[in-house]
Structure 1
Amino acid sequence: MASQLAGKAQEVAKEDYDKARLLLNDAARSGSYLYPVKGIFYFLTHPELWKPLRSRLLPYLTLYSSVLGSMFFFTYLPQVAIMAFVNGPLAVFTTALLILNESSTITGIISKNYLLQDAILDTFDGTLVARNSSNIVAEGRELNARGDSIQRLGKALKTPFKRFSVNELVRYVMYLPLNFVPVVGTVAFILLRGRSRGDSVHDRYFQLKGWPTSRKSKWLKDHKGPYTAFGTVATLLEMIPVASVVFSFTNTVGAALWAADIEAKENEMAGSTAPELREAAKKAE
């Protein structure tokens, strides 16, 4: 009996290892993990994309300061008492990091649903316009003929971003205890958060393309590795105190750059396939 259980455990471990290896290989080949970094540089070199961030910066900092102060005041001592059992003297530091993460997450959920929603939408669409993908953006909003990439954005006809997500909060609470396991638990927590984060980065792109839920789900399933890699890097950046709001916007820029590259690749494939289809049609005649 013991040998059978051991054999089954090895089989399951090998299966999980193979799946993880495939995901890592897919992520590495796609280069998706680089897009959050590309988003930073693109954002810095295109000042017109700063406008949505500037319009929301002060309200965000006020919200973040309030959440962070309240979390340290009300939850630091209870959490450090719990963390002391697993982290010992390091609990003072690990609890502080945990509260920073919690505060960032709470602020992110509130701000993205109620404070930054329109600004992030403008940043995504503006980046697509800057990347000469206006035809995609035109499927979801009016576009002006003149101005920079942000000034050209007119009234939004479609808005993909959902309001407060109970599922997102539940997942966060479920994953939170992983932080009590030193190192390994924290890494697992970040990866799980990254996977969840990755699943939503192209909501706007899918909407502009008019994809139904079934096609979107299949695409995300087929590209799980790349989206998890993007989401993990984006999550790490957004965990940085205070600067998290800036990285929320640069990650949005990175997601839009990735979407523009996907679109360009699809157009290139369609362009190369079309002559072949026409030739086949002629032969059929």
Structure 2
Amino acid sequence: MAAKDTVKQTVQEEAASIQKMATDVARSGAYLYPFKGIFYFLTHRALWKPLMSKLLPTLTLGISVTAGMFFFTYLPQAAVLAIFNGPLAALSTILLVLSESSTIFMALAKTMLIEDSLVDTFDGTLVSKGETNLLSSERQVKSGGDPIARLGKLVSKPFAKFTPKALIRYFMYLPLNFLPVVGTVLFILLQGKKFGPQAHSRYFQLKKMSKSTQEDWVEKRKGAYTGFGVVGVLLEMVPIAGILFAFTNNVGAALWAADLEKSETTSPELRNQAKRVE
């Protein structure tokens, strides 16, 4: 009886935790920033430059990885998932292979092709939002020209966009996909929880946050970063187009960072006055 009560209590606690997380995600509105990033990117042509400079080799890599993964891994994984997921195995396998392809593709692309371009996109977005002071300690910012043209030499190397630890963690989570529907949802949720803070690695560097400060910062905004991360992961899972969303996610993360900066520099009294005017 005691064991039954313990299980029941644990389930209730987990349910309450998930409910609180969902509430925090909804209240934060951070899940909208990846979509804001898409719109901002599409309406600011100057921000296309870093992507366009790497477009052809990146698309070639994306097509090769995705086609290869479906050719070599779809049927074996579908056979295994059919044991656990039954008729849902086909859909689960497609999502799984897309996720695997995206992860491998992004790891290769961010390591070999687009890391500097993503940094330029993030920094260029900050410049376009007037946050040159935030950049000044880590990068030269020129006067005149479009936001990308104003970016000068990097003072220090940006944080790595993808690490071996992240890849290992990804494959540790893969078995969750054996659980029908719920497993895939949990898999994406766990990926999103890590993706969100990673999207602000450049922002943390610009703010000169220590590792412990970053952890405290993220913990206080766990729902916001999870919301941003889940949407970002789903967008980057789209075959081939995921590379475009990698750039728009960076734009969205920079827009969020710019809004955070504005909220920090606006006193509570002025914010209250603004709300009364509205």
Q: Name the counterpart of 1:278.
A: none
- Answer with 1 or 2: which has the greater Rg: 1
Candidates 145, 159, 164, aligned match of 1:166 = 164
Give the C-alpha shift of residue 217 in structure 1. Answer: 0.9
Candidates 238, 252, 255, aligned match of 1:254 = 252
Where does the alignment leave 5 or more consecutive residues of structure 1 unmatched?
274-285
- The one-character-per-residue Cα deviations of 1:101-153 (angstroms, maximum 9, x if unpaired) are 21111001111122110000000000000001111011210111111100000
Q: Name the counterpart of 1:40.
A: 38
Q: Is the 8 A contact 1:114 1:163 kept in 2?
A: no
What is the one-letter code of the residue matched to 1:98? L
Q: Measure the CA separation in 2 of the matches of 1:164 and 1:198.
A: 13
Q: Name the counterpart of 1:119.
A: 117
C-alpha spacing 1:94/1:24, structure 2 compared with 1 (3 Å): closer
Give the C-alpha shift of residue 239 in structure 1. Answer: 0.7
RMSD after superposition: 1.7
Q: More deviation in 32-41 or 20-29?
A: 20-29
- The one-character-per-residue Cα deviations of 1:194-214 (angstroms, maximum 9, x if unpaired) are 001012111111111111111
SS of corresponding position for 2:81? helix
Q: Name the counterpart of 2:48.
A: 50
Give the C-alpha shift of residue 270 in structure 1. Answer: 7.8
- The one-character-per-residue Cα deviations of 1:203-253 (angstroms, maximum 9, x if unpaired) are 111111111111111101111110001000001111111110111111100
Q: Measure the CA separation in 2 of the matches of 1:18 and 1:94.
A: 28
Q: Is the 8 A contact 2:126 2:255 kept in 1?
A: yes
Normalising by structure 1, what TM-score? 0.90
User: Counterparts of 1:129-168 in structure 2 under 5 Å?
Assistant: 129-162=127-160, 165-168=163-166
Q: More deviation in 113-122 or 63-72?
A: 63-72
C-alpha spacing 1:271/1:136, structure 2 compared with 1 (3 Å): farther
Aligned residues: 271
Q: Is the 8 A contact 2:176 2:187 kept in 1?
A: yes
Normalising by structure 2, what TM-score? 0.93
Candidates 59, 75, 78, aligned match of 1:77 = 75
**Runs (4+) of structure 1 moved beyond 6 Å?**
none
- The one-character-per-residue Cα deviations of 1:82-108 (angstroms, maximum 9, x if unpaired) are 122123344344323321221111001
Give the C-alpha shift of residue 21 in structure 1. Answer: 2.2
Q: Is the 8 A contact 2:74 2:97 kept in 1?
A: yes
Q: Is the 8 A contact 1:139 1:209 kept in 2?
A: no
What is the one-letter code of the residue matched to 1:49? L
Give the C-alpha shift of residue 158 in structure 1. Answer: 2.3
Q: Name the counterpart of 2:266.
A: 268
**Percent identity at matched positions?**
52
Q: Name the counterpart of 2:12.
A: 14
SS of corresponding position for 1:118? helix
Q: Is the 8 A contact 1:201 1:255 kept in 2?
A: yes
- The one-character-per-residue Cα deviations of 1:55-90 (angstroms, maximum 9, x if unpaired) are 111111111122122212322232122122123344
